[in-house]
Amino acid sequence: MKIFNAPQIKELDIYTLQEQKITSAQLMERAADKCATWLRNKYPTHTHFTVFCGLGNNGGDGLAIARILLAHQYKVTVYIMKHSPNTSPEFEENLALLKDIITIRTIISEKHIPPIEEHSVIIDAMFGAGINRPIEGICKTLIDKINKLDNPKVAIDIPSGLPCDVENFSKNQTILVADYTLTFEAPKLTFLLPKTAYYVGNWKILSIGLSENYKQTIESEYAYIGAKDILKIIKKREPFSHKGTFGHVEIIGGSYGKIGAVVLATKASLRIGAGLATAYTPNCGMQVLQSTVPESMWTGNLPCEYFLEGNYISTHKTVGIGPGLGIHPKTQTFLNLVIKATKTPMVIDADAINILARNKEWLSEIPENSIVTPHPKEFERLVGTFSNDAEKLKKLRLFASTYKCIVVLKGAHTAIADINGNIYFNSTGNPGMATGGSGDVLTGMITGLLAQKYSPIQAALLGVYLHGLAGDLTIKEIGMPSLMASDLVNYIGKATLHI
Task: Work out the percent of the chain whose per-residue pLDDT is above 90.
Answer: 95
Say whether 291 counts as a known binding-site residue.
Answer: no
Say whether 324 counts as a known binding-site residue.
Answer: yes
Say whether 257 counts as a known binding-site residue.
Answer: no
Mean pLDDT of 423-431: 98
Contact 458, 371 (CB under 8 A): no
Say whether 179 counts as a known binding-site residue.
Answer: no
Residue 115 has pLDDT above 80, yes or no: yes
Residue 318 contacts by C-beta under 8 Å, 6 or more apart in sequence?
247, 248, 249, 250, 274, 344, 346, 447, 450, 451
Say whether 410 counts as a known binding-site residue.
Answer: yes
Say whether 440 counts as a known binding-site residue.
Answer: yes
Say whether 320 counts as a known binding-site residue.
Answer: no
Q: What was the pLDDT predicted at 167?
A: 87
Q: What was the pLDDT predicted at 301?
A: 79
Q: What was the pLDDT predicted at 188?
A: 97
Domains of the chain: 6-219 (3.40.50.10260), 230-498 (3.40.1190.20)
Q: What was the pLDDT predicted at 303?
A: 83
Contact 288, 318 (CB under 8 A): no
Say whether 100 counts as a known binding-site residue.
Answer: no
Query: Of the given ranges (102-116, 261-275, 337-351, 450-464), which has the lowest mean pLDDT?
Result: 102-116
Residue 31 has pLDDT above 90, yes or no: yes
Residue 302 has pLDDT above 80, yes or no: no
Say whether 437 counts as a known binding-site residue.
Answer: no
Task: Work out the percent of the chain whose per-residue pLDDT is above 70.
Answer: 100
Sign of the CA dihedral 273, 276, 282, 288?
positive
Residue 50 contacts by C-beta under 8 Å, 6 or more apart in sequence?
76, 77, 79, 116, 117, 120, 121, 122, 123, 151
CA–CA dist 276, 315 (Å, integer): 13
With cut-offs at 50, 70 and 90, classify the pLDDT of residue 168. confident
Q: How far is CA 365 from CA 104, 309, 339, 354, in A?
A: 67, 19, 7, 16
pLDDT digits (tens, 9 = 90+) for 48-77: 999 999 999 999 999 999 999 999 999 999
Q: What was the pLDDT predicted at 499?
A: 86
Classify residue 313 by burial, with Cβ atoms within 10 Å: 0-12, 13-18, 19+.
exposed
Say whether 58 counts as a known binding-site residue.
Answer: yes
Query: Of the given ranges (166-170, 197-201, 290-294, 420-424), which has the lowest mean pLDDT?
Result: 166-170
Q: What was the pLDDT predicted at 131?
A: 84
Say whether 414 counts as a known binding-site residue.
Answer: yes
Residue 85 has pLDDT above 90, yes or no: no
Q: What was the pLDDT predicted at 257?
A: 97
Mean pLDDT of 310-322: 94
Contact 63, 88 (CB under 8 A): no
* Partners of residue 154 on adjacent β-strands: 123, 180
Say whether 226 counts as a known binding-site residue.
Answer: no
Mean pLDDT of the chain: 96
Residue 291 contacts by C-beta under 8 Å, 6 or more apart in sequence?
none
CA–CA dist 49, 56 (Å, integer): 20
Say whether 130 counts as a known binding-site residue.
Answer: yes
Say whether 61 counts as a known binding-site residue.
Answer: yes
Say whether 239 counts as a known binding-site residue.
Answer: no
Buried b vs exposed e over 78-89: b needs ≥16 C-beta within 10 Å? bbbbbbeeebbe
Q: How far is CA 392 from CA 3, 272, 372, in A?
A: 18, 31, 16
Contact 122, 52 (CB under 8 A): yes
Say whether 261 counts as a known binding-site residue.
Answer: yes
Mean pLDDT of 324-343: 97
Residue 179 contacts by C-beta under 8 Å, 6 or more apart in sequence?
152, 153, 154, 201, 202
Mean pLDDT of 113-129: 95
Is beta strand 371-373 parallel, antiparallel or unpaired with respect to 121-125?
Answer: unpaired
With cut-offs at 50, 70 and 90, classify the pLDDT of residue 84. confident
